[in-house]
Amino acid sequence: MTFDPLVIRKDFPIFDRKIRDGKRLVYLDSGATSQKPSVVIDAESNFYRNHNAAAHRGAHQLAEEATEALESARSVVADFLGGATDEIVFTKHSTEALNLLAYSIGDSPAGNVFHLKAGDEVVVSEMEHHANLIPWQQLAKRTGAVLKWFEVTPDGRLDLSDIESVITSRTKIVALTHQSNVLGTINPLAELVKRTHDVGAIFILDACQSVPHMPVSVAALDIDFLVFSGHKSVGPTGVGVLWGRASLLAELPPFLFGGSMIENVTMLDATWAPAPRKFEPGVPNMAQIVGLGVALNYLTKIGMQEIHNHENTITKYAISKLREIEKLKIIGPTDMKLRGGAVSFTLGEIHPHDLGQFLDNSGIAVRTGHHCAWPLTRKMGVAATTRASFYLYNTLEDIDDLADGVRDAQKYFA
């Protein structure tokens, strides 16, 4: 099957609607959330229509079916990442997955592999989304650990020139993004993971911007934990994924307590079910989890490498078209070897909010602002940027419309 975005678009009903008085939808905000194919929308609806019951509870057929649907989705996610089924923890979103790690690590008693004490070091980078910065920043404050970070170079890459002074023998945790949600930069993980393991620390990967867009194998990357979000991967909102090495999940204390995460409970104490159950109290977001399983099967059927190749084509074209525009400045690397399909830029004196509003009037959806990465936009010396981010359903025509829209905005605000 050859990859054809025009055929793929037919799977996504939202492209049938019109925007701002009859304009074609040019959706360039998949970095914030992706659109959903009919199979995912139907899977959620079908779960409620035909199989709804509390999974892992209840002695009846519906409960059996709900459990089967939930656990099948877990296998799909595990296969998608190249991990084991019991290594997949479902959360509400990737933000919760990162907070789960930060709180569980903070709760680890002395003697536990995760135990943090004053003076231990936690490493992040200046290009982290707030969701992979603030949990660690606050964990450091609670424990007396020291927060350290990799700086970002003027062309938007991680500055690894001082890797040995950033990741040291005192480092316990390294939490980094795979691909920047602002700059599009893909980080060179091999060197970072090796250094992290050499000093005996744990490597946590924020893969929200990579897992939906390229083949990612946790085994090949040799990382310890990974998080990604369902809704950026053509799946539903309300479901995030934490993958962790089985041996580490076994040792990590639980974060949220309640029903179904226990082994035994008395009035004064409790013990925990094995992972992943000990991290999943409460009735899970079953319909959303089922929808995520269908979403990942949908992506797999198309092929993650094919999707990645398509996004590379689109991104390369976008960069070349945008660079032709006077006063437009791309914030981030322009070399395709270093980046994925999110392109941030500024446009002279025209504020991103005004540009975004103007583009919206033409049916073009982009994101504007600091993109939940305020320290990064400050570092890059801009108050805000406009970001176009791409996915499997975007076409070269979308990029032409964007470039035309940007030029029209320049005339409008001149």
Total number of residues shown for the chain: 414
**C-beta of 358 vs 390, nearer to other proteins:** 358
Q: What is the DSSP string of 89-158?
A: EEESSHHHHHHHHHHHHHTPPTTSTT---TT-EEEEETT--GGGTHHHHHHHHHHTPEEEEE-B-TTS-B
Site membership for other proteins, residue 353 (CB under 8 A) = yes
Least separation in angstroms between residue 389's CB and other proteins is 17
**C-beta of 56 vs 351, nearer to other proteins:** 351
Site membership for other proteins, residue 16 (CB under 8 A) = no
CB atoms inside a 10 Å sphere around CB 244: 29
CB-count exposure of residue 326 (10 Å: 0-12, 13-18, 19+): exposed
Least separation in angstroms between residue 412's CB and other proteins is 8
Site membership for other proteins, residue 375 (CB under 8 A) = no
**C-beta of 155 vs 408, nearer to other proteins:** 408
Nearest 5 degrees, angle CA 369-CA 374-CA 380?
A: 90
Site membership for other proteins, residue 21 (CB under 8 A) = yes
**C-beta of 182 vs 234, nearer to other proteins:** 182
**C-beta of 115 vs 329, nearer to other proteins:** 329
Distance CA(336)–CA(396), nearest Å, equals: 17
Task: Work out which of 213, 232, 370, 387 binds other proteins, going by CB under 8 A.
Answer: 370
**C-beta of 254 vs 356, nearer to other proteins:** 356
Site membership for other proteins, residue 377 (CB under 8 A) = yes
Site membership for other proteins, residue 306 (CB under 8 A) = no
Interface stretch with other proteins, choices 57-65, 181-189, 211-219, 353-361 (CB under 8 A): 353-361
Site membership for other proteins, residue 354 (CB under 8 A) = yes
Q: What is the DSSP string of 258-270?
A: -TTSEEEE-SS-E
CB 291 within 8 A of CB 240: no
Task: Work out which of 72, 85, 153, 361 binds other proteins, going by CB under 8 A.
Answer: 361
Least separation in angstroms between residue 401's CB and other proteins is 16
Contacts of 349 (CB under 8 A, 6+ apart): none
Q: Tell me whether strands 385-389 and 342-347 are parallel, antiparallel or unpaired.
A: antiparallel
Under the phi-then-psi rule, with left for phi > 0, alpha for psi from -120 to 50, and beta for the rest, what region is 378? alpha
Count of CA atoms in the C-beta half-sphere (13 A) of 320: 8
Site membership for other proteins, residue 374 (CB under 8 A) = yes
* Range 106-111, long-range pairs (CB < 8 A, 24+ positions): 106/139, 106/142, 106/143, 107/253, 107/255, 108/252, 108/253, 109/253
Active site residue 208: no
Site membership for other proteins, residue 352 (CB under 8 A) = yes
**C-beta of 208 vs 384, nearer to other proteins:** 384
Distance CA(265)–CA(271), nearest Å, equals: 7
Least separation in angstroms between residue 380's CB and other proteins is 12
Q: Which of 55, 372, 373, 399 is catalytic?
A: 372
Q: Which amino acid is at 188?
A: P
Nearest 5 degrees, angle CA 50-CA 56-CA 58?
A: 70
Q: Judged by CB under 8 A, how many residues of this single chain contact other proteins? A: 18
Least separation in angstroms between residue 370's CB and other proteins is 4
CB-count exposure of residue 65 (10 Å: 0-12, 13-18, 19+): middle
Least separation in angstroms between residue 124's CB and other proteins is 20
Under the phi-then-psi rule, with left for phi > 0, alpha for psi from -120 to 50, and beta for the rest, what region is 38? alpha
Interface stretch with other proteins, choices 78-86, 314-322, 369-377, 394-402 (CB under 8 A): 369-377
Contacts of 68 (CB under 8 A, 6+ apart): none
Task: Work out which of 351, 375, 379, 407 binds other proteins, going by CB under 8 A.
Answer: 351
What are the residues facing 344 on neighbouring strands? 331, 387
Site membership for other proteins, residue 384 (CB under 8 A) = yes
**C-beta of 182 vs 292, nearer to other proteins:** 182
Task: Work out which of 162, 383, 396, 397 binds other proteins, going by CB under 8 A.
Answer: 383
Least separation in angstroms between residue 357's CB and other proteins is 7
Note the residues at the interface with other proteins (CB under 8 A): 20-21, 351-354, 357-358, 361, 368-370, 374, 377, 383-384, 412-413
- Residues taking part in catalysis: 372
